[in-house]
């Protein structure tokens, strides 16, 4: 080797060393970045796992609540069905009792019934307001095969006012502001009326009349008159 080639060789060696050093530095830097990214990914993975765990716990709680609500709903539906069956049973009991009662009423007082329709438990009560009376009753029907009956119950009160005979009717709203009583029932229907009598009017009797319809077909007429004083129970 000539002396003149030594500097050239040294330059090449220096270049190789610089390149090697650069590559080594890049490798180290790359490993550093990789480790940094890996650490970040590990942290993010842990956070995601924690979030997933929380969501799973919350989902389990919601599922438990949903199951509890389903059980409560099922129990409520069962109770409602039991109550419904009990109501039907009681209606049948009442209906059978009313049929038995109606049979004896028909024998003792046949005028109280008309094709199975009749009024039961009629009572009159004085109120604290002069001229106002409360009437309570139950509309009933007795038939082997019961279907809904409908109609309008008319009320008429006969009495004396200022020495003259007078009849007040629900047709002209003289005694009932709401007019005739509209009814519709299969077995029975409780009715409460508030009668308004004019001043100086002395009632003697009260009469109920109606035309009974079933399936839009006229089934019959009902008419019954009662002594006013016999129905009057007590002041109220």
Q: Residue 44 is inside which H or E element, if any?
A: helix 6-108
pLDDT in tens, 144-181: 566 889 999 999 999 999 989 999 999 876 799 889 99
* Mean pLDDT (whole number) for 195-207: 93
Query: Which fold, 113-235?
Result: Immunoglobulin-like (2.60.40)
Q: Among 137, 139, 121, 216, which Cα is nearest to 183's?
A: 139
Residue 112 has pLDDT above 50, yes or no: no
pLDDT in tens, 123-136: 999 998 889 999 99
pLDDT in tens, 86-97: 877 876 776 566
Q: Can you tell me the distance from the alpha carbon of 117 to that of 222, in angstroms, rounded to the nearest whole number?
A: 7
pLDDT in tens, 24-74: 778 777 776 766 666 677 777 788 787 888 888 888 888 888 888 888 888
Length of the chain, please? 236
């Amino acid at each position: 080797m000539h002396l003149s080639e030594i500097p050239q060789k040294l330059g090449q060696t220096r270049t190789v060393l610089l390149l090697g050093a650069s590559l080594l530095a890049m490798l180290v830097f790359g490993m550093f970045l990789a480790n940094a990214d890996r650490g970040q990914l590990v942290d993010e993975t842990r956070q995601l796992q924690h979030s997933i765990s929380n969501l799973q716990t919350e989902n389990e709680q919601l599922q438990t609540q949903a199951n509890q609500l389903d059980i409560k709903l099922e129990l409520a539906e069962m109770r409602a069905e039991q109550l419904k069956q009990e109501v039907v049973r009681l209606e049948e009991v009442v209906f059978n009792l009313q049929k038995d009662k109606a049979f004896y009423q028909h024998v003792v007082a046949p005028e109280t019934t008309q094709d199975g329709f009749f009024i039961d438990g009629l009572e009159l009560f004085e109120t604290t307001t002069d001229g106002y009376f409360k009437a309570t009753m139950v509309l009933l029907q007795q038939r082997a095969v019961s279907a809904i009956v409908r109609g309008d119950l008319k009320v008429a009160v006969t009495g004396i006012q200022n020495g003259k005979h007078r009849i007040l009717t629900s047709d002209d709203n003289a005694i009932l502001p709401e007019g005739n009583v509209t009814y519709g029932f299969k077995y029975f229907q409780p009715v409460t009326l508030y009668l308004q009598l004019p001043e100086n009017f002395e009632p003697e009797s009260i009469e109920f009349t109606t035309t009974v319809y079933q399936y839009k077909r006229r089934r019959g007429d009902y008419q019954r008159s009662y002594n006013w004083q016999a129905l009057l129970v007590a002041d109220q």
